[in-house]
Amino acid sequence: MVAEKIQEAHFEWKDAWQVYKDESDVTADFHARREVNQFLSARNRAILLEGFEVPGITVRTAMEKKLIYHQEGGFYE
């Protein structure tokens, strides 16, 4: 089945060209990596200090309690 689908897909090579990294690419990459690192560090710090609560119903909640669905309100209790 997979082999059949691969054979159905036809790609035609049109052209290719060399791309050179310039100084602005290096600078943009550095800034993007720094921002992501700052975000992840702050997120990890917040999780360690405040804990992490998943919004909504988790598997643990569903297993610990017998949940009742309220049709008129559209929620579980």
| Dihedral sign (CA 32, 36, 38, 39) | positive
Instruction: Write the CA distances from 44 to 32, 35, 41, 50, 52, integer angstroms.
Output: 18, 14, 5, 10, 10
E strand residue ranges, 1-77: 69-70, 75-76
* Per-residue pLDDT at 3: 52
Tens of pLDDT, residues 24-41? 888 999 999 999 999 999
Question: Mean pLDDT for each 10-residue chunk of the chain (77 residues)?
Answer: 57 86 87 95 90 78 77 76
* Per-residue pLDDT at 7: 57
